Amino acid sequence: MSQSNTHFYLRNYKEIMNNSKLSDKAKSSILLSKAENTVDAYESDWMDFVDWCRHKQESFFPSSPEIIVNYINDLADYAKANTISRRISALSENFNASGIESNPCSAPIVKQAMRGIRRSLGTYQQGKTPVLLDDLMDIIEYMETADIAPIQKLRDKAILLLGFMGAFRRSELSALTVESLKFLPQGLEIFVSSSKADQEGQGAIVAIPYIENDSLCAVKAVKAWLRFVPITTGPIFRGFTKSMSVRKTAISDKSIADIVKYYIAAIGADPSLYGAHSLRHGFATTAAHYGVEERNIMKQTRHHSVNMVRRYINEANKFVDNPISSIFKSK
């Protein structure tokens, strides 16, 4: 739908475009200040609000605080509190971008309603179950004797080990290219050009050292995969045709999640509890369990906030010094 029908302004800030003191180049740089995937997410959230308003025969633009409150309370029937909070942020951003004088999302009644929803629903987020080091070892052991095509086995092993050791997001794994790899005597440097947490697009370098255990060495797994194919340019991880030839395009991030679920099921765990994020989650939780310092975990996971990393640490330590164990050890 066109902007005139939906009033989505975040791709074309009204105030910026009407500012005669700004050059066209300056306007373009400001419009690019938000990552494209963030704007896409905002538009999706805004369109959900638009659809709700049309169904309820309410005005979405201009709108009112009361309409916003009714909308988020309907959302609370099926959405988590953090999802609703994100939805309000998206709506607020779009109202601000439109140039209207009064943003309905900023009204006290909306903030009061959100506090009530948080009390009612809670804010704890249950993420995917982590693939821990022991799980990864079981998977690699299974792969050694599994009836899987050698080419698939090599690719999947490289994906799983690299995803875990590099604490990669599934979108980052899917986007890796040969050009982003730099093999060194100490191991492998990987340049991640962009990611969810890198809104400025500066990129980051992830270091993966060699380890003595050959079966768990991510660097050697990647080398073995690239030797077997061989791929000399473009995406590292790709899908297969029906004849098991390697495709030219990158594997999708959904396929990476499917790979994790497949091998988790193979070692007897419930695949519905796992996803691609389980590799990243698993690395952080395992590192915390082994006593790795916060700042070193954050260096590998590229988290900018300690809050999430501390959740991993707490998760790893929830059975350590547990009061129940202390009570019954004394009996």
Q: Which residues are catalytic?
A: 169, 196, 277, 280, 303, 312
Which long-range contacts (C-beta less than 8 Å, at least 24 apart) are formed by 215-220? 215/140, 215/141, 215/144, 216/136, 216/137, 216/140, 216/161, 217/161, 218/158, 218/161, 218/162, 218/164, 218/165, 218/166, 218/188, 219/183, 219/187, 219/188
- Between the alpha carbon of residue 262 and those of residues 120, 139, 176, 284, the distances in Å are 36, 10, 22, 22
DSSP string over 154-218: HHHHHHHHHHHHTT--HHHHHH-BGGGEEEETTEEEEEE---TT-TT---EEEEEE--S-GGG-H
Alpha-carbon gap, residue 99 to 271, rounded angstroms: 47
First to last CA, the chain: 69
DSSP string over 214-258: GGG-HHHHHHHHHHHTT--SSBSSEEE-TT-PEEEEEPPHHHHHH
Tokens 């979108």 locate to 171
Geometric angle at alpha carbon 154, from 223 and 224, rounded to 5°: 20
Instruction: Copy the structure tokens of residue 216.
Output: 């768990």
| Beta pairing class for 204-209 and 187-192 | antiparallel
Cis before 209 (ω within 30): no
DSSP string over 293-330: -HHHHHHHHT-S-HHHHHHHHHHHTTTTT-HHHHHHHT
